[in-house]
A and B are shown apart, each in its own frame.
Chain A
Amino acid sequence: MNLSFKSISIFLLIGLSLAIFSCQQGSNGGALKNSTAEKVFVAPGEHDEFYAFISGGFSGQLAVYGLPSGRLFKVIPVFSVDAEKAWGFNEETKPMLQTSHGFIPWGDSHHPDISQTNGELDGRWVFINENNTPRIARISLETFETDEIIEIPNSAGNHSSSFVTENTEYVVAGTRFSVPVPQRDMPIAEYKGNFKGALSFIKVDPEHGHMNIEFQILMPGFDYDLSHPGRGKSHGWFFFTTYNTEEASTLMEVNASQNDKDFIAAINWKKAEEYMKAGKFKTMPANYAHNVYDEATHSATTTWKKEVRVLDPAELPGLVYFMPTPKSPHGCDVDPSGEYIVGSGKLAAALTVHSFTKMEKAIADKNFEGEAYGIPVLSFDATLAGTVEQPGLGPLHTEFDGKGNAYTTFFISSEVVKWKLGTWEVIDRKPTYYSVGHLMIPGGNSRKPFGKYVVAMNKITKDRYLPTGPEVTQSAQLYDISGEKMELLLDFPTVGEPHYAAGIAADLIKPRSKKFYRLADNNHPYATKSQDETRVERKGKDVHVYMTMIRSHFAPDNIEGIKVGDRVYFHVTNLEQDYDVPHGISMIGANTSELLIMPGQTETFVWEPKQVGVWPFYCTDFCSALHQEMQGYVRVSPKNSKIKLSWSLDGE
């Protein structure tokens, strides 16, 4: 081989340019991996850009993560007891889990939604629904605690919930399973025409957030799967997807999948308000719990509600219209402008998008193709804005980036697909690992999404993480959507099934996050605000211990005169007024959880001593250099003992 210098140079040049080109193209190149890592890396001591509130599904809770890091900060107990935080164990929070079926220690939490003002997230509260025993909870974003839970009567499988209107006028709760209303003993086979689906509109007090079921619309016995409010031009309307318009009650997977089209129900809630004002409602007897946690008394109370007001759409023209939508639509998503209503037909080949403007025109023109139980069915073609053809298999949910694009999850083909509103063309698709359910863009359900990231929440994990036996971690994935093409940045594990999430810019919440409870504002009936007030009082078999905790001792820490068979209430106040100094307390043999008490807060646990002896209690949350010394003793004497009640700290 006799190669000239020139040809060698050319070869080198070609080789070099190929190398550069392949580096740019490489999808798993080292340099690219580094830049991906940088995008999710939040340096030690730095803060994430977004909060993500991800529901736990069957865990019943709501977990707080940071984005883009995917780090878990807190699991807020909502519908399930939590021994770590004494949620449902201490006397103060037991009423929160009270229902018409009694105390229920578990729930199935699905769809968080953040409160809004003028169609933008305001960061005051997160609402979330419980699916199994229909309830809606409100969580304060100052304290990151559940402040209120209201039970929903006439409902079952509370799934098309808990979405808020653009000024948080209402949070809605729709029933997935229709049931006899009122409940009664009847043959299941007589479902058709007899069962009803209640859609509840819950008024939210603008100042305190307190919830009240303003009215229910008693709909035909379909399954009301998901919903979203109109916004902007469609403000005043609410849209619900339905399936099982066949009204089957057995082997649903087949029998509820027969109709080519089901409906999106368009509810004119402004009209409903007019009908309510005009007295066109019926008052039904009901029995449901309304549980409110009061931040001043650090305690929850249950109020029993005995009636609910219902509207019958068959008798009230203009209240509800049906828009035919193929096929068994699941997600019902409204774009930021309020013009487009996307129905994700689970079993359909295309995505169906309705136009609000066309819907209004169809209503004005009475362009109906029939009626169902007295509710007009609008002509399919009259409301159709367009279809996204062959987008993927098994569409479930859509969110929006605020730049004219929509992002839809496909469960069966396991991908997120980006498409353009108005032209309905698919722009990009990225696989999910695996079988994605919901997705979330921070602010994606508002007029102003923060279109930077999308989080995909997967139903199946398989081989993505280190295995942990038959049950592996649940998983979410983060994609960068700031460019034309989506880019997978991160897999991160989640608590429970990451069913759905709500995200918001951290700056809207961070400054208002409470640091501690002011002792001066503590109105707990058993609060003890200084060590001088600590005491023990006997009332028959009940003994009340008024105890305080501060680094690093309890007062009192020696108690005598307790007898077997007593009910001892430990009312413990944390006297600290410092950030991040909770104390815990636990008692050997107490048939309950520890207490984890925030600075300035009072909590109560009950101990029923069954054995004679001297029994210790101690602080469970490492609080200071002398944490190990933060302990005390209670002497328990036999039932008939004559020992007087006494208590002391350091002999005083």
Chain B
Amino acid sequence: MKKSKILMIIGSLLLLTLFVLPLWNITLDAPQYPDSLGIDIYITKMQGAHEGDIQNINIMNHYVGMEKLPEKMKEFELFPIVVIVMALLGVIIGFIGKRKLFLAWFVAMAILGSIGMYDFYLWEYKYGHNLDPKAAIQFPGQAYQPPLIGSKTILNFKAHSYPMSGGYMLFAGMFLSLGAFFVAGKEEEKEN
């Protein structure tokens, strides 16, 4: 089997790690939380970095009128389907071994990823801005939107938003498909 094919197949299969590894993480730091509060975001669910973190974040946030973190989201149903379809497609493309298809798969993933990030931004915006008008603690003009990527200060917390192991696997998979595209190019040169 050609090296490029192997790279493409492995790259696509890496997507499947998203079913066990968290894609993203938001961590909230404050002095009275020495262990931090954290949310691990998977393609199927949100989970506290420690036992009780989701509830504790909800408790903190209810004072300023934020909604609870969602247990169900349409994304949690849609993302697994997209990931499985793309992984399968990638493997099939790998076996077919067409160089242009490698690139097409990479571009498709990049577009899907960007849509995903945009969707994440929209959710963060809503989560941080949709406040209960009866909230006990109100700061006019203050919003509580976590950063899309990076860190920022929100009241007494410092919020950090970064990809996690599953996210890095996704990037690695995409990188391998791009690699497969270039390697395939070299292989074609040799054949000619």
Chain A contacts to B: CB under 8 angstroms: 516, 518, 550-551, 576-579, 624-626, 629
Contact = CB atoms under 8 A, between A and B. Distances in A.
B59 interface: yes
Contacts of B52: 516, 576-578
A516 B59 CA distance: 17
Given A625-B63, A626-B63, A577 B137 contact: no
B56 interface: yes
Given A625-B137, A626-B136, A577 B55 contact: yes
B56 A578 contact: yes
Contacts of B63: 624-626
Contacts, number: 23
B51 interface: yes
Interface of B: 35, 51-52, 55-56, 59, 63, 136-137
B136 A577 contact: no
14 contacts: A518-B51, A550-B59, A551-B59, A576-B55, A576-B59, A577-B51, A577-B56, A578-B52, A578-B56, A579-B35, A624-B63, A625-B137, A626-B136, A629-B136
A120 B137 CA distance: 54
3 nearest interchain CB pairs?
A577-B52, A578-B56, A551-B59
Contacts of A578: 52, 55-56, 59
B68 to A, nearest CB: 13
Decide if the interface of chain B is mainly helix, strand, loop or mixed: loop
Contacts of B35: 579
Contacts of B55: 576-578
Contacts of A579: 35
A625 B52 CA distance: 20
Nearest to A580: B32
Contacts of A629: 136
A39 B176 CA distance: 58
Given A576-B52, A577-B51, A629-B136, 17 more contacts: A516-B52, A518-B51, A550-B59, A551-B59, A576-B55, A576-B59, A577-B52, A577-B55, A577-B56, A578-B55, A578-B56, A578-B59, A579-B35, A625-B136, A625-B137, A626-B63, A626-B136
Contacts of A624: 63
A575 to B, nearest CB: 8
Nearest to A578: B56
A414 B45 CA distance: 67
Contacts of A516: 52
B74 to A, nearest CB: 25
Contacts of A625: 63, 136-137
A579 B52 CA distance: 9
Contacts of B51: 518, 577
A624 B61 CA distance: 13
Nearest to A625: B63
A629 B52 CA distance: 24
A256 B2 CA distance: 98
Nearest to B62: A551
A577 B54 CA distance: 10
A23 to B, nearest CB: 43
A24 B4 CA distance: 77
A629 B63 CA distance: 12
Contacts of B56: 577-578
A624 B137 CA distance: 12
